[in-house]
Chain A
């Protein structure tokens, strides 16, 4: 069965600092992997996706993620966080029946 684990429930970083959000997945075949962001009371916005090919994928808003099959990980990174990045971030595996992680809430300190 496919599943996703996001080990960090809440992360606080200072504005301008780098960010890494962790995601581990369990999937029997080559996974489709996604990172979504959700602001309070809103739907989910796709940041980036991995289907195949280059294991380092670039997304919107300066985010990138690296697929590491050996570690079953798909961590999200950003070199310099902006205050507007404060939101909840979800990692997901699958396609049209996605399984989501529990989410990581990001707080940005001024």
Chain B
């Protein structure tokens, strides 16, 4: 069974540009969450999507957005990139349906974004 796939693995962008990252969840998983990992702030929750709807959102500016498609694949977009957006962006998928209990998240290997 294939794991969570994130593309691209590495990305270099210039300040002010925008970037789109992609995440393909494990087959059958309907929930996709995104996290940002930096040396200074650690692992921080960005947002979660389930059935093409954003269910939860972390404390990030509106420059960070996402979406989920009908096949559960998800993308996140960062507009007007800043140097501080340089980070490892991790995607996680899980089986959890609304109202169910007992879930676990499986992570992809991440996309390393460098803003110069």
Q: Contact residues of A with B, CB < 8 Å? A: 32, 34, 36, 41-46, 49, 51-52, 90, 92, 94-103
Contacts and interface: CB of A to CB of B under 8 A. Distances in A.
9 tightest A-B CB contacts, nearest first? A100-B43, A43-B107, A97-B56, A44-B107, A43-B109, A96-B48, A51-B102, A102-B42, A96-B33
B31 A96 contact: yes
B108 A96 contact: no
A96 B105 contact: yes
B90 interface: yes
B58 interface: yes
Nearest to A45: B107
Interface of B: 4, 31, 33, 35, 42-45, 48, 50, 55-56, 58, 90, 92, 94, 96, 101-110, 112
Q: Do most interface residues of chain A lie in helix, strand or loop, or is the interface mixed?
A: loop
Contact of A51 (B90, B101, B109): B101
A46 B26 CA distance: 15
A44 B31 contact: no
A90 B35 CA distance: 14
